Structure 1
Amino acid sequence: MRGSIVLAADDPANLARFYGALLNAPPQQGWGATHWRVPWPAGGFLELYAPSRSRPQPRQPGRMALCLQQSVDAGDPAALLQAWIQQATTEGGSLLEPARHEPFGVEAWLQDPEGNRLLLLVQA
């Protein structure tokens, strides 16, 4: 048995490049011209596809979001998070809320280039 995360996208190739850059993993062409895959750190893939025109998938803010995590043994977790935020915004993401310290680490909420919510989390 395998698992994956599926994300509908208007531009799957661009969104695959965005997540590939943040995950430091090369995007891969999927099963067709409108399907891309990015290896997911926990196993499986982040599957990005353009939905069928006969079954469109409208954009929805919802309560579900991808969470990308890093941990740091030495150094400043906030500095690592700021560098990651900078990378995400350079790649086309946008910051929704400034970084903040929580008991479990330092986090920031962003939107990916297509408006999906994304949580970046650095744990010390």
Structure 2
Amino acid sequence: MLELVEMKGSIVLAADDPAALACFYGCLLGVEPQQGLSASHWRVTWPAGGFLEIYAPSSSRPQPRQLGRLALCLQRHADGGASTQVLHSWIGQATAQGASLLTPPRQEPFGVEAWLLDPEGNRLLLLVQA
């Protein structure tokens, strides 16, 4: 039996333009994207650990764009009544980088949230908790 010394996890995201999508997520997370294992592979440090691995799929195994139930969720915390203001600012940052707003911000019991599409059409939830 193979003994695992250390296990790591990453999130993998196919992209038509990996460098541009890495810049988008790097901007929202406040980190510098890193070149990965090739010119078509980029990494963005993920807040919970590991990386968001962004790559161009092989032409022999394409990954078509599609909406589904899986989405990336980025979270921030804010002081009391500032949650909505923080979210609006974050949405502005995301849309300036090429995202589009799917649903306007709304208050939920766990915080204020908004659903967007990133520049390549992947679902993205921005959540600000008080």
- Residue 73 of structure 1: CA displacement? 3.0
TM-score normalised according to structure 1 size: 0.98
Counterpart among 115, 118, 121 of residue 112 in structure 1: 118
Q: Distance in 2 between matches of 1:71 and 1:5?
A: 22
Paired amino acid for 2:112: V
Q: Does 1:31 align with 2:31?
A: no
**Which residue does the alignment assign to 2:109?**
103
Which of the two has higher C-alpha Rg?
2
- Residue 111 of structure 1: CA displacement? 0.3
Counterpart among 11, 15, 27 of residue 9 in structure 1: 15
What CA deviation, in whole Å up to 9, does each residue of 1:64-123 have, x standing for no partner?
A: 000000011355100000000000000000000000000000000000000000000000
Task: Extract unaligned runs of 5+ from structure 2.
Answer: 1-6
Q: Distance in 1 between matches of 2:45 and 2:81?
A: 27
Deviates most, 81-90 or 69-78: 69-78
Q: Distance in 2 between matches of 1:18 and 1:88?
A: 8
Corresponding residue SS for 1:51: coil
**Which residue does the alignment assign to 2:77?**
71
Task: Extract unaligned runs of 5+ from structure 1.
Answer: none
Paired amino acid for 1:90: A
Q: Distance in 2 between matches of 1:30 and 1:52?
A: 15
TM-score normalised according to structure 2 size: 0.94
Paired amino acid for 1:50: A
Runs of 4+ in structure 1 off by over 4 angstroms are none
Counterpart among 62, 84, 87 of residue 81 in structure 1: 87
